[in-house]
Amino acid sequence: MTGDTVEKKEQHDLEQTPTLGVAEKGEVVEIDADEALNAVAGLDTAALQIDEETERRLLRKIDLNLMPLMCIVYGLNYLDKTTLSYASIMGLKQDLKLVGDNYQWLSSLFYFGYLGWEFPTNRLLQRLPLAKYSAFNIIMWGLVLSLFATTENFGGAVVIRLFLGIFEAAVTPGFALFVSQWYTKKEQGLRTGIWFSFNGWAQIFGGLVAYGFAHGASTYGFSIAPWKAIFVFTGVLTSTVGIVFLFIMPDNQLNARFLTKEERVLAIQRIKVNEQGIGNKHFKWYQVKEAVLDPAIWGFVFYALVADIPNGGISNFFSQLIVSFGYTPEQSLLYGTPGGAVEVVALLLCGYLGDRLGSRILVCMSGLVVAMIGVIMIVAIPLDKPAGRLAGYYLTQASPTPFVALLSLISTNVAGWTKKTTVAAMYLVAYCVGNIIGPQTFRPKDAPEYRPAEITILVCWAACLVDLVFIWWWYRRQNLKKSLVRADPSYTKVENQEFLDMTDKENPEFNYSL
């Protein structure tokens, strides 16, 4: 670490007034570093070398214990948000006496709750045990979703959607933190793509379940409306998984029951290459300031805002959109499921190639280009050619690839735990605003073609492509600057610098992934 870096860090106005200095013999004098530093304190970290076989065995153990649970929870997260779309063509509008733009506002109100609670929940994710706080939110959003079956009017539905957004606000930033804790930079893109791809699996599963309920109700009859049965089913399933999550998911490597004491140290040691740690509970204002002044972060925020205008419209109106192609409501429940398969393939393929080629940003842009082709097909193909328009809708489901790539880059390219949670909150607040705007572009008077909404989607995605090129260029430029700092003869790297809760900007050893 250079003398300028040490002096700069000592000047930071931290909440707990911790500082970092260098003693006479060059060792680190640490007061407020990452939790990982306590795990390696007193150990000869240079001797903690992990051979390839141990590395593979440890990674396999981590994957088997973390990824299945994260995948299931994230699939339920998407299913629970889009249950409203299925219910909209199963009698919900009639039973709740929705008129005018009531349904559009129900779609948007989820994100008002999400938006209002995003910054507080990110602070709680940093301050409280990560897995336990996440589990609490999973259990609660399941209970709230089940209560949707008790609503009798628009007002009751508004309350449910608001609280659903509040409790679901923790899952995406929380999962980004889990990935940052447990996986190296080269592993994070694919792992994020895997658990996010369960949005697609949830779309397949949700469509089949909704079709089963709708068909069963029409054939045999239900004691409650089929749309209410869907809310009860998905809500109870979510809360059950949340209880499992509470008892199985570790907060970090230090309390992972599936690892031995030796493996816990090795699991921390293997992520030193990230130039990050596993968590710091102290809130640091200088890291907030750095996040707000970082141009790359505003590139992230712009993308989340603009890209999620299309997402907010499509995710809440896809069932009605398919009906507008000329299919029956029951058919739309089934015909929407292949779109989930397209999303799964796109996310896994881009996640794998992005990590393999070391270029997540450029690779992920391919999914957005495919999605734009899909919208062009919907706009250009006549209404009397429903199969072609349906194929276009399927292609639009490749659009999440850049959103997921940028989400993985919050894990990879943002260091300092206050900065990381701040950036996650900024990103997801923009995501909420985009999703609030999105449903409003699908106006009832524009049915069945929804042409203004389709044009809006194309314009938004074109702007997003330009933004992605900027983010790629900016990070490449910063890496060149850091290489010059490290090449300076006066530069010295401090031992365990990776675990000092430094931000990506103040750590000269930090290289940005592209």
Q: How far is CA 217 from CA 44, 97, 161, 214, 233, in A?
A: 66, 20, 25, 5, 15
Mean pLDDT highest for which of 34-43, 319-328, 351-360, 380-389?
Answer: 351-360
Would you list the domain boundaries of the chain? 45-499
- Name the DSSP letter for residue 493: P
DSSP annotation string for 225-293? -HHHHHHHHHHHHHHHHHHHHHHH--SSGGG-TTS-HHHHHHHHHTTGGGT--S---S--HHHHHHHHT
Structure tokens at 221: 């009859």
Residue 407 has pLDDT above 80, yes or no: yes
Structure tokens at 106: 């129900």
Q: What is the pLDDT of residues 469-507, one digit of tens each?
A: 999 999 999 999 999 988 988 888 877 777 788 899 988
Whether the bond between 448 and the residue before it is cis, its omega within 30 degrees of 0, is: yes
Using CA atoms, how far apart are residues 135 and 424, in angstroms rounded to an integer? 19
Measured between alpha carbons, how far apart are the two ends of the chain, in Å? 24
Question: Rounded to 5 degrees, what are φ and ψ at 141?
Answer: -70, -30
Can you tell me the mean pLDDT for 374-400? 89
Tell me the pLDDT of the chain averaged across its residues: 85
Using CA atoms, how far apart are residues 430 and 441, in angstroms rounded to an integer? 17
Strand bridging mode 20-22 / 28-30: antiparallel
Residue 341's H or E segment, with its range, is helix 337-357
Using CA atoms, how far apart are residues 157 and 148, in angstroms rounded to an integer? 7
Q: What is the pLDDT of residues 211-261, one digit of tens each?
A: 887 777 667 766 778 888 888 999 999 999 999 999 999 999 989 999 998
CB 120 within 8 A of CB 167: no
* Answer CATH for 45-499 from 1.20.1250.20, 3.40.50.740, 3.20.20.210, 3.90.650.10: 1.20.1250.20
Q: How far is CA 271 from CA 14, 287, 467, in A?
A: 26, 22, 30
- Name the DSSP letter for residue 479: H
- pLDDT for the residue numbered 42: 55
In the chain, DSSP finds a helix count (H) and a strand count (E) of 21, 2
Alpha-carbon dihedral sign for residues 485, 487, 491, 495: positive
Residue 4 has pLDDT above 70, yes or no: no
Q: What is the pLDDT of residues 328-353, one digit of tens each?
A: 777 777 787 888 899 999 999 999 99
CB 491 within 8 A of CB 508: yes
